Amino acid sequence: MPAIQFHFHGLLIVIEADEAQWLVHYEDYFRAYVPVAALPTTDALRIELRASHLAKRPAESQLERLAQTGIVSLWRAATEPETLWLYAGATTFEIHPSSGRATGYLDEAALAMPPILTNTYSLFALLLLLRWRGVYHLHAAAAQLPDGRSCWIAGAQRSGKTTLVTALGLAGWKPLADDSLLLTWRDEQVVWQPMRKAFHLGNDVLERWQSRLTGMNAQPRYLDRHSVAALEFFQTQELAAQSYATVDLVLFPQVQPITRTSIAPLATSEALRRLAEQSTFFALWKAQTARQWQALLKATTTAQCLELITGEDLLSAPERVAALIA
Amino acid sequence: MQTNAPQPDEAVYVTKAQASFTELLAEREAIILDLDNLHYYTLNAPAIFLWKQLGERVAQTATTLARRLASAFNLNDDTQAERDVRGFLDSLRSFGLIETTSAPAGATASVFEKLTFAAYETPQLRLSNSLSQVVLSGSSTIATAAIATG
């Protein structure tokens, strides 16, 4: 079976597919991670991509729904509680976290929208496998300040994480990730790492900064976003590949139709609650929830937390906003 | 000298093991995440004081807690301290954050006796919200919209 394999945050990932062409988009999505030729070990996490007619979905009456966002839903089989099913329209993933395996069943519609397949559906399956192994996903952007401090930018979709981290990059910060961080424990120490992938920048923002982003590779993605090679543009690939123990600054942006960006301190208790909310699958598997919570607490022990209401000046004068924060 | 000995008819309380308590600002800001149901609570200064007394088994009955609360916050009104402690214990019980035990109350030396506390207010345990919903963060909404529009 055609496959790609690569080291990913301390684990070996193997993605196999019935058709070699299905792997092209995965190679592109995970291009920051160096492919390995070695035979996979039993510790590898495996995702197989197969034709949809091979799926043996349980009857709905046998399933318990764990989560639903739009048409994406996560289910657990009553008869086989360790098996999870992720339904997402044209794809179905059967996930066996304890054995580190997931199978994605795809139909033609899924293959017609490969960025969604690679970025969302397969990623959710992979994040579940990672979670079982103690690697936790945080829905946040990250950057390094010019003085070397580290910063997370956390918030729900459309809160402006990608725009803010890119704006801060234009102002001299070093962008590391636009929406995905991974936290884990190593020798009882917390480490977090950016997930290295393309940023997904709004078309309107890309157009607005056209002259400042000259030379940035940008590919249309879907709807109103472009996939941009931001780590390459800001030359932060090496920084993004490093591990960090703590974070110094945590920002919670919110886009508002105002002229000037404003900033206010946020109580740590509220900041931690919001970080837990942005921790994917936080409520799943008690032992992992406890470890993930302790990881969040430890990583943010000395962090300053700020709420940022971003206005028009973020686009027109990113340097002013960066100075306001720093 | 005051003792921690409970009154004969008084329950002895202990904090629930699954309640993860974290002090964020010494004696001023703290949170509890109940890992059983993922309810998330914030505590004010007197509530932090009482929780730590319970958690460290310094005082575990309403009477001993009230005595220590009054002492720590310089309350002259013992009746108020007792009333506030019983109210706080009621909240903890209703949220399932404490349990009664048949073990005798502990008598560990208090770590608070030399500290100065903030001005007194009624101990408050505030349920912020529950984090029990399994969250699919990320690009799913965008993806959903993309599929819906073809």
Quote ipTM for the complex: 0.89
A279-293, B3-17, B100-114, B130-144 — most confident range = A279-293
B25: part of which helix (H) or strand (E)? strand B19-25
Q: Is the pLDDT of residue A310 over 90?
A: yes
Q: With contact defined as beta carbons under 8 Å apart, do A85 and A63 qualify? A: yes
B12: part of which helix (H) or strand (E)? strand B12-15
SS3 A326: coil
Of A89, A277, A290, the CB nearest to B135: A277
pLDDT of amino acid B141:
43
SS3 B123: coil
pLDDT tens profile A235-244: 999 999 999 9
The structure tokens listed for A131 are: 């979670």
Q: Is the pLDDT of residue B148 over 70?
A: no
Sign of CA dihedral A71, A77, A81, A83: negative
* pLDDT band per the 50, 70, 90 thresholds, residue B149: very low
Smallest CA-to-CA distance from A136 within B135, B36, B142 is with B135
Establish if A103 touches chain B: CB-CB under 8 angstroms: no
DSSP state of A38: S
Contact B31 A67 (CB under 8 A): no
Average of per-residue pLDDT values in chain B: 81
pLDDT of amino acid B143:
44
A110: part of which helix (H) or strand (E)? helix A108-112
pLDDT of amino acid A133:
96
pLDDT of amino acid B116:
63
pLDDT of amino acid A234:
98
Question: What is the Cα–Cα distance from A26 to A12, expressed in whole angstroms?
Answer: 15
User: Burial of B9 by CB count in 10 Å (0-12 exposed, 13-18 middle, 19+ buried)?
Assistant: exposed
Show residues of chain A in contact with B33, CB under 8 Å.
Answer: 276, 293
Q: Other C-beta atoms within 10 Å of A221: how many? A: 20
Residue with token string 């936080």: A282
pLDDT of amino acid A78:
85
Using CA atoms, how far residue A237 sits from A135, A177, A229, A231, in Å, is 21, 10, 10, 5
A38-47, A165-174, A277-286 — most confident range = A165-174
pLDDT of amino acid A43:
86
Contact B134 A284 (CB under 8 A): yes
Residue with token string 């996930």: A95
Question: What is the Cα–Cα distance from A102 to B86, expressed in whole angstroms?
Answer: 52
Q: Is the pLDDT of residue A48 over 60?
A: yes
* pLDDT band per the 50, 70, 90 thresholds, residue B106: low
pLDDT of amino acid B112:
52
pLDDT of amino acid B145:
40
Show residues of chain A in contact with B31, CB under 8 Å.
Answer: 269, 272-273
The structure tokens listed for A192 are: 């977090």
Question: What is the Cα–Cα distance from B42 to A270, expressed in whole angstroms?
Answer: 9
Question: What is the Cα–Cα distance from A174 to A64, expressed in whole angstroms?
Answer: 43
Question: What is the Cα–Cα distance from A239 to A314, expressed in whole angstroms?
Answer: 24
Select the residue from B130, B140, B144 to test the A interface by mutation, using most A Cβ atoms within 10 A. B140
Show residues of chain B in contact with A290, CB under 8 Å.
Answer: 20, 35
Establish if B101 touches chain A: CB-CB under 8 angstroms: no
Establish if B137 touches chain A: CB-CB under 8 angstroms: yes
Task: List all residues 6 or more positions away from B103 whose beta carbon is below 8 Å from its beta carbon.
Answer: B12, B14
Tell me the sheet residues that pair with A92: A87, A105
Establish if B134 touches chain A: CB-CB under 8 angstroms: yes
Residue B144 or B133, more confident: B133
Q: With contact defined as beta carbons under 8 Å apart, do A309 and A152 qualify? A: no
* pLDDT band per the 50, 70, 90 thresholds, residue B131: confident
B23: part of which helix (H) or strand (E)? strand B19-25
pLDDT tens profile A247-276: 999 999 999 999 999 999 999 999 999 999
The structure tokens listed for A180 are: 């995905």
Tell me the sheet residues that pair with A190: A185
Q: With contact defined as beta carbons under 8 Å apart, do B138 and A123 qualify? A: yes
Nearest Cα of chain B lies from the Cα of A284 at a distance, in angstroms, of 6
SS3 B109: coil
Of B59-63, B86-90, B100-104, the one with minimum mean pLDDT is B100-104
HSE-up of residue A98 (Cα within 13 Å, Cβ side): 5
Q: How many Cβ pairs within 8 Å bridge chains A and B?
A: 127
Identify residue A310 by its one-letter amino acid code: T
pLDDT of amino acid A40:
62
Question: What is the Cα–Cα distance from B39 to A30, expressed in whole angstroms?
Answer: 36
Alpha helices, H only, A160-241:
161-170, 203-208, 230-233, 237-240
Question: What is the Cα–Cα distance from A165 to A293, expressed in whole angstroms?
Answer: 25
pLDDT tens profile B37-65: 999 999 999 999 999 999 988 878 999 99
Alpha helices, H only, A234-312:
237-240, 268-277, 286-299
SS3 B18: coil
pLDDT tens profile A85-113: 999 888 999 999 999 999 999 988 888 87
Question: What is the Cα–Cα distance from B31 to B15, expressed in whole angstroms?
Answer: 14
Strands (E), chain A: 3-8, 11-17, 45-51, 63-69, 72-77, 84-88, 91-96, 101-106, 135-138, 140-144, 150-154, 174-177, 181-186, 189-194, 199-202, 218-220, 225-228, 249-255, 262-265, 304-310
Question: What is the Cα–Cα distance from A193 to A281, expressed in whole angstroms?
Answer: 18
Q: Is the pLDDT of residue A185 over 80?
A: yes
* Predicted model pTM: 0.91
pLDDT of amino acid B105:
65
